[in-house]
Amino acid sequence: MLTPVEEIIEEIEKDRKSGASTLTDKALECFAVFAEQSSDKTLQTLQDQLLLICNELIHSQPDMAPMFTVTQRVLSCVENLKNQNPSPEKIRKTIKELIHTIRTELVQAKEKIAAIGLSLIKNSDTILTHSYSSSVKEMLISVHKMGTTFQVIATESRPGFEGRKLAQDLGREGIHTTLIVDSAACKLLQNASMVILGADRVTEKFFVNKIGSYSLALCTHHASKDVYVVCDTTKFVPTSFSTVESKLYPDEEVLEEELPNVTVENPYFEEVPLSFIKGVICEKGLLSPKEIGVII
């Protein structure tokens, strides 16, 4: 039988629909449950257990930077305690406090991101977005609640169709949303004021987002319109982070039947050069590609 911690990791691993922010929430929950329920009697077994969890989390969603940044923060925090020869209880308490701190920071980040969104999006704007990003969704809903009237064009996002969920969530909040097939994004761009995308990872050279983001960003750049990326800085990692291989995703999502001499390739993510974008909206402000390069 799986432990509660193992159950959360399995849930994260099987999750094909959520963006990096939602998965970060789950990873934090995983550490919180670990700190609450771990019954390890010695410092060493607790640390071994923690290292195992961090490793599993990183490999559960290798394209999601927060799996790396959050686990690194937990590990560093425990490492820093070592000189104090802490009790397992002390370590568990410290992890709980760190998770609380990170959650508070993430709430504050959302507020700062919403404020930048409010200054960027004007009445009557049309925002084109691709796939489902909870960072993008929450920013748009906040800006709408603060009184700006805009509309959204959302792609359906094959193979998982998670754009339908975004359209449903935005529509329910009263934001008028047009749902399109992914291939129509470059044509519908002509009706858009700007493109706003989420990110699972941002490096000094590129960001990683759902497959289809590269062509959309290139077309937008080519049409002299602006692409913005929305994410908190837990998604910021150096390019050299890309040591874990991207996962392969199930063929059945693209083609259910077997056809002779036909195979399926089903990548979920791709890298988009920062040179295609105007900037990244995060809790540190609206950062230009150059500024991102300095920070990371």
Query: At residue 92, what is the residue type?
Result: R
CB crowding 247-264: b at 16 or more within 10 Å, else e = eebeeeeeeeeeeeeeee
Verify cis geometry, omega within 30 degrees of 0, for the bond prior to 273: no
Q: x/- binding map, residues 131-170, to a copy of itself, per CB under 8 A? A: ----------------------x--xxxx----x--xx-x
Is residue 208 part of the contact set for a copy of itself (CB under 8 A)? no
Is residue 183 within the footprint of a copy of itself (CB under 8 A)?
A: yes
CA 101/CA 197 separation, integer angstroms? 27
200 scored as a contact of a copy of itself (CB under 8 A)? no
198: Cβ–Cβ under 8 A, 6 or more apart, which residues?
19, 20, 21, 129, 131, 132, 133, 134, 135, 136, 209, 210, 229, 230, 231
Q: Which backbone phi and psi does 83 adopt, to 5 degrees?
A: -60, -25
Give residues 209-268 in contact with a copy of itself (rule: CB under 8 A). 210-212, 214-216, 218-219, 222, 254-255, 259-267
Judge whether 185 and 201 are in contact, CB under 8 Å: no
Residue 98 neighbours by CB under 8 Å, 6+ apart: 31, 73, 74, 77
Rounded distance between C-alpha atoms, residue 251 and residue 266, angstroms: 6
The single residue among 86, 88, 171, 285 that binds a copy of itself, judged by CB under 8 A, is 171
Q: Which is nearer to a copy of itself, 120 or 166 (CB)?
A: 166
Indicate the residue among 37 and 246 with the shorter CB distance to a copy of itself: 246
- Alpha-carbon span 202 to 23, nearest angstrom: 16
Establish if 81 lies at the interface with a copy of itself (CB under 8 A): no
For a copy of itself, the closer of residues 81 and 186 by Cβ is: 186
Residue closer to a copy of itself, measured from CB, 53 or 152: 152
Query: Which of 107/262 has CB closer to a copy of itself?
Result: 262
Number of residues that bind a copy of itself (CB under 8 A): 47
- Which one of residues 118, 179, 286, 296 is an interface residue with a copy of itself (CB under 8 A)? 179
Q: How far is the CB of 159 from a copy of itself (least distance, A)?
A: 5
Q: Is 176 in the site for a copy of itself (CB under 8 A)?
A: yes
| Residue 277 structure tokens | 């974008």
Cβ-based nearer residue to a copy of itself, 81 or 218: 218
Among residues 35, 53, 185, 195, the one that binds a copy of itself under rule CB under 8 A:
185
Q: How far is the CB of 33 from a copy of itself (least distance, A)?
A: 35
| Spatial distance between the Cα atoms of 134 and 230, rounded to a whole number of angstroms | 10
- The CA R_g of the chain, rounded to the nearest whole Å, is 20
- Comparing CA positions, the residue from 237, 195, 181 lying closest to residue 20 is 237
Among 33, 77, 180, 286, binds a copy of itself (CB under 8 A): 180
Query: Measured from the CB atom, is 211 or 282 closer to a copy of itself?
Result: 211
Give the interface with a copy of itself as residue ranges (CB under 8 A). 153, 156-159, 164, 167-168, 170-172, 174-188, 210-212, 214-216, 218-219, 222, 254-255, 259-267, 270
